[in-house]
Amino acid sequence: MVPFDYPRSIAIQALSLILDQEKFSNDVLNQLLVNPKLSNLDRKFVTASVYGVLDFLPLIDEIISDASQRPLTKIDSDILNILRLGVWQLKFADKVPQSSAVDESVKLATRFNKRSAGSFINAVLRNVIRNPLQLNKKQEHLKYGMTSEIFGLYKKWFGEEGARSINNSYLSANSQLTVLFTGSINEKQNWLSQIKEIGIAVQPGVVVHDSFVLQNLPTGVEGLPGYEQGLFYVQDESSMLVAEVLQVQKNQKILDACAGLGGKSFAILNQNPQLKITALEPNRERYQGLLDNIDRLKISQIKTLKTDLQSFTNNAVSVKRYFDQIILDVPCSGLGVLKNKPEIKLSLSYAKLQEFPAIQIDLLNHAAKIVNSTGNLLYSTCTINPAENEELIAEFLATRAGQEFRVVDTSYILNKIKPEYKAKIKAGLNDYGLSIRPDKIPIDGFFISYLKRI
């Protein structure tokens, strides 16, 4: 007989990788959920519990600190994660009996070779039950799993109601995946049938044609029908909108300057398969992921270079004013993707947020050097921080390099998207580009500015 609950032990492993080794939650869960020992119900529990802990971590840690009267830094990391999972079950998992939450948490101490900590875990969790934490008005941020510093910034940017609305939208995540289908019409029908046959609920995307939202996944993404055949690519609809904004012509020279895993390029080629794209990515792991995706999707139109934009621009004299279109999806704070990657918010601070604009303006200046005399530069972020979006573009346009560009009116995108959220997309258009709020449209928060050299 197994002395501990196996799915809960997988959840602890996931939390350890995410919180202690700084891995992304989606990558960790894709890796761990393929475990054949897990049933579909187990996978749902692991996913819900991991994201639940991450969503409310500051509040959960405050509860643990109050109940244990011990600094969190003095608690072993495995024991702390066991307590976090236990508190989540006690406070947020309505279907888990309190006795089971406590007893299974104690058993997990043995699983992670911390048997002596069992009595401590038991005492803390029972104290949580007996003496629930009472939040005061100054602790409102904890309701949303935010630090007071970051929640305060949201209120500054969007007002109190806006801050509450946006942060509520982050907490409504369920187990789903958004994908861009890249196969033929016949392949699409076969793929949809295969997906539905294994119990996955499929809905069309809300904004972009050829996008689908998959729910009730019984396995990680690599185990889904069509994955190995390269029939789809995992990508949020906000990112897909880059392809809708970009206005390309045949034989244009296109650069994906911060390619990452290649999602923007794949979306562009899905609409314009005749194009050829040069993609830059300096990070070793992401570059390998880019190559793997290109191979899986059977794409031959992308030339990859393992380098950063600054080096590429400075070292290659021949590329000066060479490209017709540049896609610049810059490193950012990621405040638009907290629904799917809630761990991002846990390491952010006001000081950290100040680091991004300098990086972004430098990348814009380098990209501007290699846009040709009639070319375009598309700037995008997955954040809703104005200092990285509208304010950043305003700052760039005031520079010597930026004075050679103007912002393109991208209202034409309204004729290319689905009608349901057309009004909300229109409301997000401004003098500097397109802003998407995740509480207004059920996709990631995002910003796109399309600049043309004049």
DSSP-derived secondary structure for 28-72: HHHHHTT-TT--HHHHHHHHHHHHHHHHTHHHHHHHHHHHH-S-G
Report the sign of the C-alpha dihedral through residues 133, 138, 142, 143, in that order.
positive
Are residues 353 and 247 part of one domain?
yes
pLDDT of residue 113: 86
- 280 domain-assigned: yes
Query: Could you tell me the CATH number of the domain that includes residue 202?
Result: 3.30.70.1170
What mean pLDDT comes out for the span 360-384? 96
Query: Could you tell me the CATH number of the domain that includes residue 346?
Result: 3.40.50.150
| DSSP-derived pairing of the beta strands 302-305 and 323-329 | unpaired
Are residues 73 and 220 part of one domain?
no
What mean pLDDT comes out for the span 23-29? 90
Which of 103, 134, 165 is a domain's end point? Answer: 134
- 313 domain-assigned: yes
- Helix 98-111 with 77-92: angle, nearest 10 deg: 160
* Complete DSSP assignment for 223-234: GSTTTTTT-EEE
Which of 74, 102, 134 is a domain's end point? Answer: 134
Q: Which domain holds residue 392?
A: 238-453
Coil, helix or strand for 182? Answer: coil
Query: Which amino acid is residue 361, in one-letter code?
Result: I
* 8 A C-beta contact, residue 205 and residue 212: yes
The lowest-confidence range among 16-25, 104-113, 223-232, 308-317 is 308-317
Helix or strand holding residue 242 (H, E): helix 237-245
Report the sign of the C-alpha dihedral through residues 340, 139, 440, 389, in that order.
negative
- 167 domain-assigned: no
Closest residue by Cα to residue 5 from 114, 101, 122, 115? 101
What mean pLDDT comes out for the span 416-431? 96
Asked whether the predicted pLDDT for residue 258 surpasses 80, the reply is yes
* 8 A C-beta contact, residue 437 and residue 425: no
What mean pLDDT comes out for the span 56-61? 96
More confidently predicted of 342 and 316: 342
Are residues 49 and 84 part of one domain?
yes
Residue 124 — pLDDT band, cuts 50, 70, 90?
Answer: very high
- 154 domain-assigned: no
- 148 domain-assigned: no
Q: Above pLDDT 90, what percent of the chain? A: 86
Are residues 262 and 379 part of one domain?
yes
pLDDT of residue 304: 98
Place of tokens 């939650």: 25
Are residues 272 and 204 part of one domain?
no
320: Cβ–Cβ under 8 A, 6 or more apart, which residues? 369, 370
Query: Distance between CA 306 and CA 108 in Å, rounded?
Result: 43
The lowest-confidence range among 1-5, 14-18, 312-316, 382-386 is 1-5
pLDDT of residue 172: 63
User: Which tens digit of pLDDT belongs to each residue from 198-215?
Assistant: 989 999 999 999 999 998
Which of 204, 234, 264 is a domain's end point? Answer: 234
Are residues 436 and 291 part of one domain?
yes
**Per-residue buried b or exposed e for 40-66, using 16+ beta carbons within 10 Å of the residue's own CB:** eebbbbbbbbbbbbbbbbbbbbbbbee
- 170 domain-assigned: no
pLDDT of residue 2: 52
Asked whether the predicted pLDDT for residue 173 surpasses 60, the reply is no
pLDDT of residue 1: 42
What mean pLDDT comes out for the span 187-206? 94
- 329 bridge partner residues: 380
Domain total of the chain: 3
The lowest-confidence range among 10-19, 33-42, 96-105 is 33-42
- 146 domain-assigned: no
Query: Distance between CA 421 and CA 431 in Å, rounded?
Result: 20
**Radius of gyration over every alpha carbon of the chain, rounded to an integer in angstroms:** 23
Alpha helices in 297-405, H assignment, sequence order: 309-315, 350-353, 355-369, 390-397
Backbone angles phi, psi at 207, to 5 degrees: -125, -45
Are residues 38 and 130 part of one domain?
yes
Asked whether the predicted pLDDT for residue 402 surpasses 60, the reply is yes
Query: Distance between CA 162 and CA 345 in Å, rounded?
Result: 18
Are residues 261 and 130 part of one domain?
no
Are residues 320 and 202 part of one domain?
no
Give 17-23 contacts, CB < 8 A, sequence gap 24+.
Answer: 18/50, 18/54, 18/343, 19/57, 19/77, 19/81, 19/343, 19/346, 20/77, 20/81, 22/347
- 256 bridge partner residues: 279, 327
Are residues 299 and 253 part of one domain?
yes
Are residues 320 and 265 part of one domain?
yes
Are residues 193 and 70 part of one domain?
no
Residue 318 — pLDDT band, cuts 50, 70, 90?
Answer: low
pLDDT of residue 115: 84
What mean pLDDT comes out for the span 393-398? 97
pLDDT averaged over every residue in the chain: 94
- Say what the alpha-carbon torsion angle 147, 150, 155, 157 is, to the nearest 10 degrees: -170
Asked whether the predicted pLDDT for residue 77 surpasses 50, the reply is yes
Query: Distance between CA 221 and CA 207 in Å, rounded?
Result: 22
- 390 domain-assigned: yes
pLDDT of residue 359: 97
Closest residue by Cα to residue 194 from 159, 218, 163? 218
Closest residue by Cα to residue 353 from 340, 341, 336, 335? 335
